[in-house]
């Protein structure tokens, strides 16, 4: 081990940046802390404008070669990265659980396999990417996807590696080079990804990783004139700053932002299913942007729904995420925990009632909470908490249900529980959301468009939509005449 290597649950993790195929240390560091018990994991290289500029320069230098690499070869390298991920699922799982507090069993069985799938899916999609030629007055139109250039990808802490590779994989498949800036609260698995990518044969400079605080290096990355794409997942205020920073260069943006999604429960729904869907919103300690945190229940079944929900919520096991029996782990950071508790305390002071929870636990754990008696225009209904806090309101008509569901500035997702197919069709058509689930939740396919409406985001990614974003689309129109026979 070296001075720049941590041992995290037996796994060696380099704490330096990855720039131009080399490990680069910074003069300053920041402290990485585990939310499980508040213990210090270690000191991580803290990037400055100099490291940000070096990473963009490396991506720019590597871009011509990677862009010119044949599709089949790019796909082969992405599959090799996926192979490397699959070989290290256990390492990645335990490191990420230590770093962000999400369930170890989920990382092992779902999240890390999905990381590998991200690379395989976009590698395969690349090989089949086409828009058939078409004719215009005898002329042939041919659509192509040209790599756009160096891409800056800024990712969150709630699912660090999965959400990073959701961006990295299509960007690399498209032929772009990448500068990845992981969240400062969860930098470790991005460092492991650099090792895996290098072992898979990804050329130097094609993937660069800069660690540090967005307030210190974010503008240097997003305002750089050599950056041709920016993809960000995070908060609305940060997105506004990134948009302003990118404006001078007209750099295209993809923004996946917050949510305040509704779960609509109609009287004709399977109530046991509806309760299961509602309790599922506590997943990852409520740190899921897609979570349906506003439960809207038809008044005639609200009492019964609440009774069943309370019974189901009482069975949730909260504790150490490394324990197989645990259902909910800690929240990411003391600062986030204070934010969550502030939302709940202000709601209670304003007249809300805590049917479930409503308090902090020991350490960085917040009890799963359900609040009733909340006003539609209240902070707790309108603003994203990003913790295990749900609200419950009632409605009497379908019209009222839709109005309440759409009555926030967000539009990321919505969930609907009903036994009536016609109602499902009517309601989903009127909901403002990038994704709507009917009698299910969190069923995601990479070929589907993903993104939010209103303040929940700009643009869509997934399948061909990802290539549309990470590429410059070109239409070549060829005349039927004017050719010379060189036969």
- Residues labelled catalytic: 256, 289
- Please return the burial class of 454, using the count of CB atoms within 10 Å of its CB with bins 0-12, 13-18 and 19+: middle
Three-class secondary structure of residue 84 per DSSP: helix
One-character DSSP codes across 189-248:
HHHHHHHHHHHTTPPTTSEEE--S-HHHHHHHHHT-TT--EEEEES-HHHHHHHHHHHHT
In the Cβ-directed half-sphere of 457, how many Cα atoms lie within 13 Å?
27
The string over 351-361, giving b where at least 16 C-beta atoms fall within 10 Å of a residue's C-beta and e elsewhere, is: ebebbbbbebe
Rounded distance, CA 192 to CA 214, Å?
Answer: 21
* CB-CB contact of 282 with 309 (8 Å): no
Rounded distance, CA 449 to CA 462, Å?
Answer: 5
Three-class secondary structure of residue 175 per DSSP: coil
Rounded distance, CA 329 to CA 37, Å?
Answer: 11
What interhelical angle do 160-173 and 188-199 show, nearest 10?
40
Tell me the torsion sign for CA atoms 467, 473, 476, 477. positive
Rounded distance, CA 213 to CA 215, Å?
Answer: 5
Three-class secondary structure of residue 407 per DSSP: coil
The string over 127-163, giving b where at least 16 C-beta atoms fall within 10 Å of a residue's C-beta and e elsewhere, is: eebeeeeeeeeeeeeeeebebbbbbbbbbbbbbbbbb
Q: What are phi and psi of 363, to 5 degrees?
A: 65, -135
Helices (H) and strands (E) in the chain, counts: 16, 22
In the Cβ-directed half-sphere of 276, how many Cα atoms lie within 13 Å?
9
Rounded distance, CA 385 to CA 25, Å?
Answer: 35
* CB-CB contact of 414 with 262 (8 Å): yes
Residue 169: partners with Cβ closer than 8 Å, 6 or more residues away: 78, 118, 119, 121, 122, 123
Residues written for the chain: 487
């Amino acid at each position: 081990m070296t001075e720049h290597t941590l041992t995290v649950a037996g796994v060696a993790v380099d704490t330096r940046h990855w720039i131009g195929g080399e490990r680069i240390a910074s003069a300053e560091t920041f402290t990485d802390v585990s939310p499980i018990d508040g213990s210090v994991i270690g000191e991580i290289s803290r990037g400055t404008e100099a490291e940000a500029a070096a990473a963009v320069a490396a991506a720019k230098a590597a871009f011509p070669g990677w862009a010119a690499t044949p599709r089949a070869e790019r796909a082969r390298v992405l599959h090799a990265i996926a192979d490397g991920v699959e070989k290290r699922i256990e390492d990645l799982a335990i490191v990420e659980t230590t770093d962000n507090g999400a369930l170890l069993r989920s990382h092992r069985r779902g999240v890390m396999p999905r990381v590998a799938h991200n690379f395989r899916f976009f590698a395969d999609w690349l090989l089949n990417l086409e828009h058939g030629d078409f004719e215009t007055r005898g002329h042939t139109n041919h659509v192509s996807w040209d790599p756009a250039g160096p891409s800056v990808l800024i990712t969150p802490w709630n699912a660090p590696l999965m959400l990073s590779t959701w961006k990295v994989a299509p960007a690399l498949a498209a032929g772009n080079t990448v500068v990845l800036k992981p969240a400062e609260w969860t930098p470790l698995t991005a460092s492991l990804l650099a090792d895996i990518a290098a072992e898979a044969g990804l050329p130097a400079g094609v993937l660069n990783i800069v660690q540090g605080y967005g307030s210190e290096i974010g503008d240097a990355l997003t305002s750089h004139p050599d950056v041709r794409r920016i993809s960000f997942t995070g908060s609305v205020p940060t997105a506004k700053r990134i948009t302003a920073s990118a404006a001078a260069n007209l750099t295209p943006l993809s923004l996946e932002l917050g949510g305040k999604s509704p779960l609509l429960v109609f009287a004709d729904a399977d109530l046991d299913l509806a309760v299961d869907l509602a309790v599922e919103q506590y997943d990852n300690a409520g740190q899921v942007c897609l979570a349906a945190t506003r439960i809207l229940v038809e008044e005639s079944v609200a009492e019964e729904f609440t009774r069943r929900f309370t019974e189901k919520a009482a069975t949730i096991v909260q504790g150490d995420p490394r324990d197989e029996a645990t259902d909910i782990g800690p929240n990411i950071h003391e600062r986030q925990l204070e934010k969550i508790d502030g939302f709940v305390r202000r709601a209670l002071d304003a007249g809300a009632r805590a049917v479930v929870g409503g308090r902090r636990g020991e350490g960085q754990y917040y009890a799963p909470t359900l609040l009733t008696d909340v006003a539609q225009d209240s902070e707790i209904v309108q603003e994203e908490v990003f913790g295990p806090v749900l609200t419950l309101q009632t409605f009497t008509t379908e019209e009222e249900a839709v109005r309440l569901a759409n009555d926030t500035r967000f539009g990321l997702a919505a969930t609907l529980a009903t036994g009536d197919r016609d109602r499902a069709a009517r309601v989903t058509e009127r909901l403002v959301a990038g994704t709507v689930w009917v009698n299910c939740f969190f069923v995601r396919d990479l070929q589907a468009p993903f993104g939010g409406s209103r303040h929940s985001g700009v643009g869509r990614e997934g399948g061909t939509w990802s290539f549309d974003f990470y590429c410059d689309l070109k239409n070549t129109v060829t005349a039927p005449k004017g050719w010379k026979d060189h036969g």
